[in-house]
């Protein structure tokens, strides 16, 4: 009945065409009609550490520079190890929990993969 492709981001079946691309009303994702013929997955941005190693969810990292933390009396020291990171979109693209500090967001340019 519905010959429109599902949303490649959230798999919603309620997509609709708009000129030369499709739109998903559930998540707001837009993609080209030609892109559905070659690949149904949206491109993902690769996150790398300071040395160019690819980071993934669940990796362990080490901080390579003293980092001042807003609102804290201490700074994060070089060599602080962080386990089980989560990658997120944005400028601070690592979400993690650091003992003694709690939940933090870090930039990938200040860490290395452990």
pLDDT digits (tens, 9 = 90+) for 46-101: 899 999 999 999 999 999 999 999 888 899 999 999 999 999 988 899 999 998 88
* Residue 16 pLDDT greater than 70, yes or no: yes
Residues 107 and 48: beta-carbon distance below 8 Å = no
pLDDT the model gives residue 72: 87
Count of helices and strands (H, E) across the chain: 1, 11
* Residue 17 pLDDT greater than 80, yes or no: yes
Q: What are phi and psi of 104, to 5 degrees?
A: -140, 160
Please state, in angstroms and as integers, the Cα–Cα distance from residue 37 to each residue in 21, 30, 50, 65, following that order: 12, 15, 36, 45
Buried b or exposed e, range 15-54, using 16+ CB within 10 angstroms: beeeeeebbbeeeebebeeebbeeeeeeeeeebebbeeee
């Amino acid at each position: 009945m519905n010959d429109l492709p599902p949303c490649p981001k959230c798999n919603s079946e309620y997509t609709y065409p708009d000129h030369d691309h499709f739109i998903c009303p559930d998540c707001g994702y837009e993609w080209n009609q030609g892109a559905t013929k070659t690949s149904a997955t949206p491109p993902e941005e690769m996150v790398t550490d300071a040395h160019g190693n690819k980071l993934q969810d669940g990796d362990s990292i080490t901080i390579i520079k003293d980092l001042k933390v807003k609102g804290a009396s201490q700074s994060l020291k070089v060599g602080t190890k962080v386990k089980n990171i989560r990658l997120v979109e944005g400028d601070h693209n690592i979400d993690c929990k650091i003992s003694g500090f709690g939940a933090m967001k870090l930039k990938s340019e200040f860490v290395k993969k452990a």
